[in-house]
Chain A
Amino acid sequence: MDLTKMFQFNADRSSYPELDANGKPIIDLSSHKYLKLWQGPQHPGVTGNMSLELTVNGDEIVESKTHVGYLHRGFEKLMERRKFIQCFPTCIRMCVAEPDPNEYILSACIEELSGIEVPETAQWLRTLALEMARLQVLLRGVPGQAGTFSLGLGYQWGNYIRDLILDRFEELTGGRVYHMYILPGGVRGLLPDGFKKRMEENLKLVDEFLVNINDLMYNNIVFKQRAVGLAVIPVEWIDQYGVYGPAARAAGIMRDVRKTHPYLKYSELDFEPYTTTASDVYARSLVRWHDLKMTVDLIRQIMAKMPDKGEIKAPTPNVMHWRIPKGETYVKCESSRGEYGMYMVTDGSDMPRRVNLKGPSYTHATALLERLLINANIADTAAIMVSLATCPPEIER
């Protein structure tokens, strides 16, 4: 029995619409050949408050526009009227799912501009918190890709283990979702007693999960049929569209800030980010599976190498009127979605003059997604969006 043929459907999509001399589609809505279809802002397939204005011909997308503006909270602007310490609870919501990189880049900007050295123990704890954040994101993100094709089972498995990781966050930081742990100068607590043991128990579950999800997703004929060859990002687009992180690594471009520009304690850890070349949804998902595996390994390495005691916070000026000399900096780290950076300008006052966040979703979910959706099937919209790890809150800070 030729299974490949059994599940094959016509991959040769229609040639509508015709393109004009500039390569733009000629869409005449009055021809009744086209339909406008909105996906979002309230839609389970959209990972946050954002909207895609699709023009479809049958079930094929001929044009897509990304609309943002449903979530605008103006955090960057708010920070211009906040003392530096008050930016700390503000910044974490810039990417809700993975708040720790927000805390880290804000703290690192402030520390760099005011010349503060973070103690050794705090640097290890920061590295741990950032990897734990990646772990809890990928525990949903990896099976979530199958979820977009209606395979929700793996997502339930991942979410349970994620809850256990949030328990570890709760005992380390005092919070489950908004950890507010990495603050300017250091971190807010040492590891509680028995933390490493409990973490190791959780990591064993992740090991098991990695095997199970491999069986469920990556060796699944339906998943393969839908994901392989879908939304291929040609390698020359990587720079043109500003593609980062797992999406770039799936196209064979090694982009991982942890490796290329090591920060915190990453230079002391042994790891090699996975790359592949297929650059389709399957490849991007596979890169994330390997990322998850690597994160588990990194957490084990960190827990083995980190000191148990030590200073957790460098002395800072009085936070109530902490003035930072005039200057500007850009600090970046690797979030689960790719390079995540903050540009901060200070003018010598007790508030930042300008803060700008640079996250991968901004480029991935606007220009790149609009391009990738052309000629895709409506049913694949969510899969393509999720494969780019789109986080709308990070687009609209």
Chain B
Amino acid sequence: MSIKDLLTPFTAWKRITKEPVTIRDPFNDRPGAERYRGFHKNDVNKCIGCGTCEDICENEAIDMVPFKDPISGDSGLRPRLDYGRCCWCALCVDVCTTNSLTLSNEYTWVTVDPEDFRYTPGVDKKAWDDNEKGWKKPEGSYEFYNINRVEMHHLHPEDRDKSFVEMVKGYSREQAIAEADRCVECGICTATCPAHMGIPEYIKAVRHEDMEEGLRILYETNPLPEICGRICTHKCETVCSIGHKGDPLSIRWLKRYIADNVSSDKYKEILNTKDLSNNHKKVAIIGSGPAGLSAAHYLALMGYQCTIFEQYEKAGGMMRYGIPEYRLPYDSIDKDIDYILSLGVDIKYNTRIGTDITLEQLNKDYNAVFAGTGLHLGRSTGIPGSDNEHVYYATDLLRQITAGEEIEVTDQIVVIGGGNVAMDITRSLARMQNQKFGKVNIITTALEREKNLPADLEEVVESREEGAIINPGWAPQSIEIENGRPVGLHVIKCNSLFDDTGRFNPQCDITKKEFFPGSMIVQSIGQGMDLSFVNEDFKKDLEFGSRGRVVTNAYFQTSVKWFFMGGDIIEGPDVIHGIANGHKAAIGIDNYIQGIDFTPAK
């Protein structure tokens, strides 16, 4: 130690000349950094209340509370923050499925009431609501789950455009697990599904590779998983929370994966339906479509003896006779239906109510009757020439193709219609043209414009891949007939379909004309119901509502107490509504037969 050690510390005095570094007014002079994790903000109109923020919060600082203006595909809840618990880790922001939740860079908040610190961002107005700075989910590929769908293998157009072989190949084990991993279990799908299937639960079963548990969950609400797993209109996927910033989950394909991976001979064991009780009550079911089969299934589980009356020689209704085989192979239909029939459900084929047996007779022989007869009657455009014998209805042609009947296929076809049925007939006829002529020459036209086409986008894309021309936005005017045969369709441009009040009121431009040549015209502009099985006297007892539909209550009971109706004739049209209706009607029928009073709201 030296004198230097005594003197050196005094060099600290040189700092006396330095300016002070204190911030005089930190409340105003010191804003938080650009990505500071300050107080929460939520764009409540973008938020869907999926609750993933609540799930990830390890401090349980977030509660989902009711929100007054929910939108469709919304849980009706919004996150409420408790700043007595929050640690501002911002995992809630990073995991948010809609990117609606963010943090502001505001960090000072003084209030006298501790309750203020529990608030719902976006609903309870705060000074920092318009603060654009603060923490947001980092940009780029930074995600807490895969927002991209696991690609489903489809047959290439050149491999499928001549055959009716199923074009969607289904997921492998690895693909299914990877796809199931994307689910955040928000349950908005369940709320949206007409049958309220336990979707997050069966996706979890896929993740855990527990197919038996998966099958049990499927059959709780849906006895046609093979079918629905292929052709369901998947309203669940439309609202899937992951779809807000990426691809929605392939819920439909995951359902199919479970059903495909359980052998039908294990169904009874897994579903515990080997020994069903019998309550010696009988129910007649008209039509073996999704509604009828669903009702039969759930009634059979309750011990009822069900008899299905089917007008065609095979069961399935529109699922068999309306949907082409390349979308829904017949063995998949058979797997689902055979299981339902194995529960002791009796089926009488080639039996038409009204001609082979009357409704009154059914009433005498059975405790209740359920009708799910579907929409089988094609609707005509009514334009000049539409009564020609070479102008067809799509539903008729699709049924004939399934039944193996010979149908006319010419080398130039025009289809009128923009829905999924129009795409089904387009693609079926395209395949047949390819088989017969080696090329496709088919034009499908519709009133709606491209972006408003009622058909699923994938159907339109795939139709085009298979060589069909989809040319929407035209109103059919007349069918040109020469020598007793159509030669083409005259159309004019259709600019809009609905007026300002939302009423159907097509606006056309007659100066823009087009002629689609075709020696065969197919109309696919919707279907109607065939109530010919109900005689006129009985019809008087039925209550009819708007658009000629029979009025039913929430359990699909008509004004005639023993007569229940469901499926496309009441709701839909699609398979999943039919399944949901059949299930609900089964509960209604059970209540009715047992004499339990049920006074539903509808």
- Taking CB atoms, residues of chain A closer than 8 Å to B144 are 85, 316, 318-320
- Determine whether B181 belongs to the interface, using a CB cutoff of 8 Å to chain A: yes
A170 near B143: Cβ-Cβ < 8 Å: no
Alpha-carbon distance A224/B6, docked complex (angstroms): 10
- Determine whether B152 belongs to the interface, using a CB cutoff of 8 Å to chain A: no
A174 near B37: Cβ-Cβ < 8 Å: yes
How close is A78's CB to chain B, nearest CB, in angstroms?
9
Please judge, given known A-B contacts A4-B1, A85-B56, A175-B88, whether A215 and B8 are in contact too, CB under 8 Å.
Answer: yes
- Taking CB atoms, residues of chain B closer than 8 Å to A85 are 56, 91, 144
B142 near A312: Cβ-Cβ < 8 Å: yes
8 Å CB contact of B35 from A192, A313, A320, A321 = A192
Please judge, given known A-B contacts A174-B33, A189-B35, A311-B140, whether A219 and B91 are in contact too, CB under 8 Å.
Answer: no
B86-126 near A? 1/0 per residue, CB < 8 Å:
01111100110000000100000000000000000000000
How close is A44's CB to chain B, nearest CB, in angstroms?
22
Alpha-carbon distance A219/B11, docked complex (angstroms): 11
- Taking CB atoms, residues of chain B closer than 8 Å to A171 are 33-35
8 Å CB contact of B8 from A160, A180, A220 = A220
Please judge, given known A-B contacts A212-B11, A220-B9, whether A88 and B3 are in contact too, CB under 8 Å.
Answer: no
Number of interface residues of B (CB under 8 A): 47
Within 8 A of B (CB), among A119-165: 153, 157, 160
Alpha-carbon distance A90/B138, docked complex (angstroms): 21
Q: Which of A83, A87, A173, A321 gathers the greatest number of chain B CB atoms within 10 Å?
A: A321
Q: Which of B1, B34, B37 gathers the greatest number of chain A CB atoms within 10 Å?
A: B1
B141 near A221: Cβ-Cβ < 8 Å: no
8 Å CB contact of B91 from A88, A192, A212, A313 = A88
Nearest residue, chain A, Cβ from B4: A219
- Taking CB atoms, residues of chain A closer than 8 Å to B140 are 311-312
- Taking CB atoms, residues of chain B closer than 8 Å to A153 are 12
A3 near B1: Cβ-Cβ < 8 Å: yes
- Determine whether A178 belongs to the interface, using a CB cutoff of 8 Å to chain B: yes
B21 near A160: Cβ-Cβ < 8 Å: yes
A319 near B95: Cβ-Cβ < 8 Å: yes
Alpha-carbon distance A272/B145, docked complex (angstroms): 41
Alpha-carbon distance A228/B146, docked complex (angstroms): 59
- Determine whether B394 belongs to the interface, using a CB cutoff of 8 Å to chain A: no
How close is B248's CB to chain A, nearest CB, in angstroms?
14
How close is B128's CB to chain A, nearest CB, in angstroms?
15
Alpha-carbon distance A73/B4, docked complex (angstroms): 49
Alpha-carbon distance A321/B8, docked complex (angstroms): 61
B181 near A318: Cβ-Cβ < 8 Å: yes
- Taking CB atoms, residues of chain B closer than 8 Å to A4 are 1
Nearest residue, chain A, Cβ from B8: A219
- Determine whether B80 belongs to the interface, using a CB cutoff of 8 Å to chain A: no
How close is A73's CB to chain B, nearest CB, in angstroms?
13
In which size bucket is the chain A interface?
35 or more
A89 near B5: Cβ-Cβ < 8 Å: no
Within 8 A of A (CB), among B1-57: 1-6, 8-9, 11-12, 15, 21, 32-37, 52, 55-56
Alpha-carbon distance A312/B142, docked complex (angstroms): 7
Alpha-carbon distance A318/B90, docked complex (angstroms): 17
B90 near A174: Cβ-Cβ < 8 Å: yes
8 Å CB contact of B5 from A90, A224, A320 = A224
Alpha-carbon distance A315/B178, docked complex (angstroms): 12
- Taking CB atoms, residues of chain B closer than 8 Å to A318 are 144-146, 181-184
8 Å CB contact of B1 from A178, A216, A221 = A221
A89 near B1: Cβ-Cβ < 8 Å: no
- Taking CB atoms, residues of chain B closer than 8 Å to A186 are 142
Within 8 A of A (CB), among B165-203: 181-185
- Classify the interface of chain A: helix, strand, loop or mixed: helix
- Taking CB atoms, residues of chain A closer than 8 Å to B6 are 3, 221
- Determine whether A317 belongs to the interface, using a CB cutoff of 8 Å to chain B: yes
- Determine whether A82 belongs to the interface, using a CB cutoff of 8 Å to chain B: yes
- Taking CB atoms, residues of chain A closer than 8 Å to B138 are 188-190, 312-313
Nearest residue, chain A, Cβ from B141: A311
Alpha-carbon distance A83/B184, docked complex (angstroms): 14
Within 8 A of B (CB), among A173-197: 173-175, 178, 180, 186, 188-190, 192
- Determine whether A42 belongs to the interface, using a CB cutoff of 8 Å to chain B: no
A178 near B87: Cβ-Cβ < 8 Å: yes
- Determine whether A53 belongs to the interface, using a CB cutoff of 8 Å to chain B: no
A280-312 near B? 1/0 per residue, CB < 8 Å:
000000000000000000000000000000011
How close is A136's CB to chain B, nearest CB, in angstroms?
16
- Determine whether B135 belongs to the interface, using a CB cutoff of 8 Å to chain A: yes
Nearest residue, chain A, Cβ from B12: A216
Please judge, given known A-B contacts A215-B9, A221-B1, whether A88 and B89 are in contact too, CB under 8 Å.
Answer: yes
- Determine whether A86 belongs to the interface, using a CB cutoff of 8 Å to chain B: yes
- Determine whether B207 belongs to the interface, using a CB cutoff of 8 Å to chain A: yes
- Determine whether B331 belongs to the interface, using a CB cutoff of 8 Å to chain A: no
- Determine whether B58 belongs to the interface, using a CB cutoff of 8 Å to chain A: yes
How close is A198's CB to chain B, nearest CB, in angstroms?
11
- Determine whether A167 belongs to the interface, using a CB cutoff of 8 Å to chain B: yes
Nearest residue, chain A, Cβ from B88: A175
- Taking CB atoms, residues of chain B closer than 8 Å to A86 are 56, 58, 91
Please judge, given known A-B contacts A170-B36, A192-B35, whether A315 and B141 are in contact too, CB under 8 Å.
Answer: yes
- Taking CB atoms, residues of chain A closer than 8 Å to B88 are 175, 178
- Taking CB atoms, residues of chain B closer than 8 Å to A173 are 35
Alpha-carbon distance A112/B436, docked complex (angstroms): 60
- Taking CB atoms, residues of chain A closer than 8 Å to B181 are 317-318, 321
A215 near B143: Cβ-Cβ < 8 Å: no
Q: Which of B6, B21, B90 gathers the greatest number of chain A CB atoms within 10 Å?
A: B6
Alpha-carbon distance A189/B143, docked complex (angstroms): 12
B12 near A174: Cβ-Cβ < 8 Å: no
Please judge, given known A-B contacts A85-B91, A170-B32, whether A320 and B141 are in contact too, CB under 8 Å.
Answer: no
B89 near A89: Cβ-Cβ < 8 Å: yes
Nearest residue, chain A, Cβ from B94: A188
Nearest residue, chain A, Cβ from B178: A317
- Taking CB atoms, residues of chain B closer than 8 Å to A313 are 138, 141-142
- Taking CB atoms, residues of chain B closer than 8 Å to A157 are 15
B144-165 near A? 1/0 per residue, CB < 8 Å:
1110000000000000000000
Beyond known contacts A83-B58, A180-B89: 14 more, CB 8 A cutoff = A170-B33, A170-B36, A174-B135, A175-B37, A180-B90, A212-B11, A219-B9, A220-B5, A220-B8, A312-B138, A313-B138, A315-B141, A318-B146, A318-B183
| 10 A–B contacts, CB within 8 A, in A order | A4-B1, A89-B59, A157-B15, A178-B87, A192-B33, A215-B11, A219-B5, A222-B9, A312-B142, A320-B56
A-B complex: 10 closest residue pairs judged by Cβ atoms: A86-B58, A89-B89, A318-B145, A221-B5, A171-B33, A219-B8, A174-B37, A170-B33, A319-B144, A220-B9
